[in-house]
Amino acid sequence: MASKELNSTDFIQHHLQNLTFGECSDGKWRFADHHINIGKAHTEHKTDKDYTCDVKEMGFNAIHVDTMVMSLLLGGIVSFLFWSIARKASATNPSKLQNAFEYVIDFVRGAVNDTFEPKGNKIIGPLALTSISWILLMNLMDLLPVDLIPWIANGFQSSVNYGPVHYFKVLPVADINAPAGMALGIAIMIHYYSIKNKGVGGFLAELTLQPLGKWALPFNMIVEIPGFYAKQAALGLRLYGNLFAGEMIFILIALLFGSFFESIAGFMWGALGILLHLGWAIFHILIIALQAYVFMILTVVFLNQAHEAHH
């Protein structure tokens, strides 16, 4: 659905913007306008009174509405599915959907049992199941056409023509804030279990007395502390980087559809775009599932390390 009113650079910039709401420099809360220059369409569809403010003015107060809406919506869908299946679960006559979810639960339980050594923890299993299900569903949004949701929200009109919803990124994990938020939650749990199981002294000792003992404390801190927090940061950055790259490829492929009905050459490029989109989507399914699994298994590994006592 690439618009002919945008060149390639403008089209990419447009689809990398989040629907942002925040406090502008005049103290009013409004949706941001990133002021992408789209030539004639810009002057025809916008007037001075319609301008809001630039997202850079909002600073920390900026809220990515599309990321929040899609994350909460998909999290609600996951919760509802599990609740609905559990409510109708039958031991004698299970439905196909129940069998599918039981397979997922058995798969996650096996991964947790193989990785997480302490037994009897009632949080790690549900946490692993929730994370892989939620992230997998969010990742699947990358398979939707990049313009589909804004096109629907704007009454089946192109979002670049400045309808009610100018920007809408349907893939939450392509916004660094979502993976970083999930990684931050895991980091808090790592600190909690580390201090709970090892005590404050034991936790600090791991960061300061390894690997060379108390006589090399400055060196130990230089080695251990950055490594400890780098693992937690990488948990979110890995998910973000892979899904953002996948989204970029879909956006680049979408450029081929811009002149689909304009000429024979445009039709040929559009046909090539369809083939590329289909091929990348099939391959991307593997990336989607793999990244959800990697996030889950690393979460379990890091929490297992938080329970381990080093002597």
Q: Return the higher-pLDDT residue of 94 and 108.
A: 108
**Contact between 142 and 247 (Cβ < 8 Å):** yes
Reply yes or no: is the peptide bond before residue 211 cis, omega within 30 of 0.
yes
Dump strand ranges (E) for the chain: 20-23, 29-31, 63-64
Question: pLDDT tens digits for 146-163?
Answer: 777 777 776 666 555 555
- In this prediction the pTM is 0.81
Q: Which two tokens stand for residue 149?
A: 């949701």
Choose between 48 and 108: higher pLDDT. Answer: 108
Q: What pLDDT does 67 receive?
A: 92
For residue 95, pLDDT beyond 60:
yes
* Model confidence pLDDT, tens digit, residues 220-250: 888 888 888 999 999 999 999 999 988 888 8
With beta carbons less than 8 A apart as the criterion, state whether 131 and 295 touch. Answer: yes
pLDDT at 4: 43
How confident is the model at residue 48, as a pLDDT? 44
- Res 187: pLDDT: 94
Q: Tokens 């004698």 identify what position? A: 92
pLDDT value for 269? 64
Alpha carbon distance 268, 274 (integer Å): 10
Reported as a single tens digit per residue, the pLDDT across 208-222 is 877 777 777 888 888
Residue 207: pLDDT band (50, 70, 90) is confident
- Which of 11-15, 78-82, 121-125, 275-279 is most confident? 78-82
End-to-end CA gap in the chain: 60
Instruction: Please tell me which residue, 159 or 279, carries the higher pLDDT value.
Output: 279
Q: What is the pLDDT of residue 138?
A: 93
Per the model's pLDDT, the better-predicted residue between 135 and 1 turns out to be 135
Give Cα separations from 197 to 209, 229, 248 (angstroms). Answer: 18, 19, 43
Three-class SS state of 160: helix
- 3-state secondary structure (DSSP) of residue 100: helix
Q: What is the pLDDT of residue 162?
A: 52
Cα 163 to Cα 223: distance, rounded to the nearest angstrom: 52
Are the C-beta atoms of 299 and 131 separated by less than 8 Å? yes
Give the model's confidence band at 258: pLDDT under 50 very low, under 70 low, under 90 confident, else very high. low
Evaluate the omega torsion of the peptide bond into residue 164 and state whether it is cis, within 30 degrees of 0: no
32 by Cβ neighbours in 10 Å (0-12 / 13-18 / 19+) ranks as buried
- The pLDDT of 176-201, averaged and rounded, is 92
DSSP string, 10-77: HHHHHHT---EEEE-TTS-EEEB------THHHHHH--GGG--B-GGGTGGG-EEHHHHHHHHHHHHH
Q: What is the pLDDT of residues 17-51, one digit of tens each?
A: 888 888 777 777 877 764 444 444 444 444 444 45
How much is the mean pLDDT over the chain? 80
Partner residues linked to 23 by β-bridges? 29
Whether the Cβ atoms of residue 221 and residue 208 lie closer than 8 Å to each other: yes
Average pLDDT of the residues in 51-60: 70
Q: Are strands 20-23 and 29-31 parallel, antiparallel or unpaired?
A: antiparallel
Question: Contact at 8 Å (CB) between 143 and 243?
Answer: no
What is the structure's pLDDT at 218?
Answer: 83
pLDDT at 168 over 60: yes
Amino acid at 294: V
| Residue range 189-194: mean pLDDT, rounded | 93
Span 91-104, mean pLDDT?
86
